[in-house]
């Protein structure tokens, strides 16, 4: 952390004192609003009847204002730019700033040390939520949890994980998400949408719901306040799942794509006696972060967890759809593509990071970014040299502008330049001509650029590739109040220019573009080439990753974490709007889940509620 002057500490202390005094006043005024806290101790919430009277509206998301262009034309008043780092009154931002600078906060902390605010920046083995829309979870409940069945448990892991069998288990496993997708296809569903809020555990959703509600309205169960908690426009269900990997890691050769040896000393598992049988019955200890020396169950990374949901396998951390012996697994996206489905992947973080890459690619290492991108767009890669994959139909993500001279952990075929999607590969795609390519362009509004590219791709029956991002390889991070002014966290402070905001789409924009292209009717190849099939939207499978939740939680930034959840929520609303406008719930299933948890502990929920209520910059709790 950089040096901070004593005068700065004094100003922060004064600001905190004013905020604390205001919070004391507001607590007295709104205490009565918390009488309705719910305490449902269910393992899941199945709602069989679509209650459209209570469903929150799904309006068309407002276009993000291109502040750079509007300022040039005088259409935005001075001081209204959403990157202004000096908020007039943003208590949550002030709370985050003070907690990081003082390394102490009475309202919460990251890690297993209650007296230190930022003590853990990595993942945890917490149970994570799973919401379904368009189908129930009866297929999981009827046979019971695999964690209550030793034979199924051993079969899934490939061994019997220590202290993991639980005859009373009400939770399920990430590999069940893969099984549910297969079941949806078997039931005739034509549109499968998997939304992964990377790093969003139950506690993260609750933080965001408290800020939205300006009150602590629940301490267990599905929750309320967020769109994916509240939506009742179709059959919906809820449970929570284990994210443990098969193994903690492996030794591999990226160039030969071989697993040399696996780490048999670092194995997966989940002990409910140490972690807690549900997210709201958690036992704070070092166990969920792999710190219990007596039972050091491995904590998953995003690659192994994505392989669980995409390919249905328990594998080692770092694997992109490769089994522990190095054998390639075929992810569900590729399986469905062979059945005529269009396939898409959308992410707010680098396009070839673990989660979007796992939708389609194979690799023994998640760090072989350029090769993973080649798999995604149908170019020869280290994993598919002679017979490249067909390529996904839609790939939209970040990583634009991120240059590297050395390969780091990539193979010998690494090319100096963009470390995620190399310029020469983009040129090959331009020459091949099957993708409409939209990439961040100076002075051009990103949302409009992507929308026009999606329209062109849909009309011309081509694929779509979108490549955007700001410094660091991701979309700009929104904060809890809806602005884009992150404060200090474990990695410093991110600052965005007006160009960063104007020239990048949002995750919701990306999702909208993907849906437009994926659902476009196929050209009728057996009749007149100028005629289109009138069979309605094409069958498709789509991944939408809200990756900035994970990045904010790694950084121990509560303000950005909540803002990231809202960015993903906007993408969910975009999905719902598409389904409703096409009257497609009968043919659609949406899964909203996470790949793993982090380890934030909220000690005073009212502090978040009061911060939202007192904020003069809050755009999300109105």
Q: List, for residues 328-340, the tens digit of each pLDDT value.
A: 999 999 999 999 9
Instruction: State the pLDDT at residue 264.
Output: 75
Instruction: State the pLDDT at residue 18.
Output: 39
Average pLDDT, the chain: 87
* Cβ neighbours around 94 below 10 Å, total: 21
Q: What is the C-alpha separation between 378 and 363, in angstroms, rounded?
A: 14
The DSSP call for residue 590 is E
Q: Is the pLDDT of residue 1 over 70?
A: no
pLDDT tens, position by position, 75-120: 322 223 344 444 459 999 999 999 999 999 999 999 999 999 999 9
Select from 190, 220, 193 the least CA-distant residue to 205.
220
Q: What is the C-alpha separation between 468 and 395, in angstroms, rounded?
A: 11
The predicted model gives 537-563 an average pLDDT of: 97
Q: Is the pLDDT of residue 51 over 50?
A: no
Instruction: State the pLDDT at residue 60.
Output: 32
pLDDT tens, position by position, 202-259: 999 999 999 999 999 999 999 999 999 999 999 999 999 999 999 999 999 999 999 9
Beta strand 600-602 with 463-468: parallel, antiparallel or unpaired?
unpaired
Residues in Cβ contact with 155 at an 8 Å cutoff, skipping those fewer than 6 apart: none
Q: What is the C-alpha separation between 37 and 221, in angstroms, rounded?
A: 12
Name the residue with higher pLDDT: 539 or 44. 539
Q: What are the structure tokens assigned to 337, written together?
A: 């593509």
Q: H-type helices in 108-174, by residue range? A: 138-141, 150-157
Instruction: State the pLDDT at residue 88.
Output: 59
pLDDT tens, position by position, 421-440: 999 999 999 999 999 999 99
Q: Which of 14-18, 112-116, 441-445 has the lowest mean pLDDT?
A: 14-18
Q: What is the C-alpha separation between 154 and 387, in angstroms, rounded?
A: 35
- Angle at 316 (CA atoms; ends 311, 320), nearest 5 degrees: 45
Instruction: State the pLDDT at residue 614.
Output: 95
Length of the chain: 622
pLDDT tens, position by position, 153-207: 999 999 999 999 999 999 999 999 999 999 999 999 999 999 999 999 999 999 9
User: Within 13 A of 361's CA, how many CA atoms are on the CB side?
Assistant: 37
- Residues 169, 239 contacting (CB under 8 angstroms): no
Give the whole-number percent of the chain exceeding pLDDT 70.
84
**In a 3-state reduction of DSSP, which class is residue 114?**
coil
- Residues 313, 247 contacting (CB under 8 angstroms): no
Q: Which helix (H) or strand (E) holds 612?
A: helix 605-614
Separation in Å, CA 181 to CA 151, 178, 193, 206, 338: 23, 5, 9, 26, 15
Residues in Cβ contact with 216 at an 8 Å cutoff, skipping those fewer than 6 apart: 34, 37, 210, 605, 606, 608, 609
Q: What are the structure tokens assigned to 369, written together?
A: 């970014």
Instruction: State the pLDDT at residue 535.
Output: 57
Q: From the CA atom positions of the chain, what is the Rg in Å?
A: 23
pLDDT tens, position by position, 455-472: 999 999 999 999 999 999
Find how far residue 176's CA is from the centre of its chain.
Answer: 18
Residues in Cβ contact with 7 at an 8 Å cutoff, skipping those fewer than 6 apart: none
Name the residue with higher pLDDT: 530 or 597. 597
Instruction: State the pLDDT at residue 534.
Output: 52
Beta strand 342-350 with 540-546: parallel, antiparallel or unpaired?
parallel
Where does the pLDDT of residue 63 fall: very low under 50, low under 70, confident under 90, or very high at 90 and above?
Answer: very low
**In a 3-state reduction of DSSP, which class is residue 211?**
helix
User: Within 13 A of 265's CA, how many CA atoms are on the CB side?
Assistant: 3
Q: Is the pLDDT of residue 53 over 80?
A: no
| Region label for 482, one of left (φ > 0), alpha (ψ between -120 and 50) or beta (otherwise) | left
- Residues 210, 609 contacting (CB under 8 angstroms): yes
User: Within 13 A of 44's CA, how many CA atoms are on the CB side?
Assistant: 24
């Amino acid at each position: 952390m950089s040096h901070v002057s004593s005068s700065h500490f004094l100003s922060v202390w004064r600001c905190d004192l004013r905020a604390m005094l205001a919070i004391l006043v507001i607590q007295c005024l709104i205490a009565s609003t918390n009488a309705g806290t719910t305490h449902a101790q269910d393992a899941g919430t199945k709602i069989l009847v679509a209650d459209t009277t209570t469903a929150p509206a799904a309006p068309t998301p407002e276009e993000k204002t291109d502040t750079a262009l509007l300022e040039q034309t005088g259409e935005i008043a001075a001081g209204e730019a959403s990157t202004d780092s000096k908020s007039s009154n943003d208590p949550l931002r002030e709370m985050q700033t003070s907690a990081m600078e003082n390394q102490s906060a009475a309202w919460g902390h990251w890690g297993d040390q209650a007296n230190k605010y930022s003590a853990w920046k990595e993942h945890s083995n917490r149970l994570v939520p799973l919401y379904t829309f368009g189908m129930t979870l009866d297929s999981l409940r009827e046979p019971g949890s695999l964690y209550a069945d030793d034979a199924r448990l051993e079969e899934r892991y490939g061994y019997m994980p220590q202290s993991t069998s639980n005859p009373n288990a009400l939770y399920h496993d990430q590999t069940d998400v893969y099984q549910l997708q297969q079941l949806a296809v078997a039931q005739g569903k034509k549109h499968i949408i998997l939304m992964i809020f990377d790093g969003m555990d139950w506690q993260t959703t609750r933080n965001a719901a408290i800020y939205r509600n300006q009150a602590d309205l629940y301490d267990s169960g599905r929750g309320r306040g967020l769109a994916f908690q509240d939506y009742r426009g179709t059959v919906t269900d809820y449970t929570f799942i284990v994210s443990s990997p098969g193994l903690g890691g492996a030794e591999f050769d990226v160039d030969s794509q071989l697993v040399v040896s696996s780490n048999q000393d670092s194995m997966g598992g989940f002990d409910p006696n140490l972690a807690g049988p549900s997210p709201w019955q958690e036992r704070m200890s070092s166990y969920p972060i792999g710190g219990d020396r007596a039972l050091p169950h491995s904590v998953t990374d995003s690659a192994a967890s994505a392989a669980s949901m995409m390919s249905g396998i328990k594998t080692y951390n770092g694997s992109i759809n490769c089994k522990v012996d190095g054998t390639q697994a075929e992810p569900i996206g590729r399986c469905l593509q062979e059945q005529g489905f269009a396939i898409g992947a959308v992410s707010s973080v680098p396009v070839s990071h673990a989660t979007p890459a796992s939708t389609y690619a194979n690799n023994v290492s998640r760090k072989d970014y350029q090769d993973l991108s080649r798999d995604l767009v149908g170019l020869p890669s280290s994993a598919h040299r002679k017979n490249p994959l067909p390529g996904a139909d839609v790939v939209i993500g970040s990583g634009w502008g991120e240059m590297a001279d050395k390969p780091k952990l990539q193979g010998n075929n690494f090319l100096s330049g963009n470390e995620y999607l190399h310029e020469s590969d983009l040129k090959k795609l331009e020459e091949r001509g099957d993708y409409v390519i939209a990439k961040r362009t100076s002075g051009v509004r990103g949302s409009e650029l992507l929308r026009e590219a999606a329209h062109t791709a849909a009309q011309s029956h081509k694929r779509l590739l979108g490549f955007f991002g700001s410094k660091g390889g991701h979309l700009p991070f929104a904060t809890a109040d809806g602005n884009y002014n992150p404060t200090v966290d474990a990695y410093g402070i991110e600052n965005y220019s007006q160009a960063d905001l104007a020239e990048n789409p949002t995750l919701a924009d990306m999702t909208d573009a993907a849906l437009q292209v994926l659902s476009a009717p196929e050209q009728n190849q057996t009749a007149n080439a100028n005629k289109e099939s009138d069979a309605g939207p094409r069958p498709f499978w789509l991944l939408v990753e809200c990756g900035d939740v994970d990045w904010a939680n790694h950084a121990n930034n509560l303000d950005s974490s909540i803002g990231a959840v809202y960015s993903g929520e906007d993408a969910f609303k975009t999905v719902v709007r598409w389904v409703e406008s096409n009257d497609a719930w009968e043919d659609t299933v949406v899964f909203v889940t996470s790949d793993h948890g982090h380890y934030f502990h909220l000690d005073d929920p009212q502090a978040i509620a009061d911060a939202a209520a007192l904020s003069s910059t809050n755009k999300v709790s109105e």
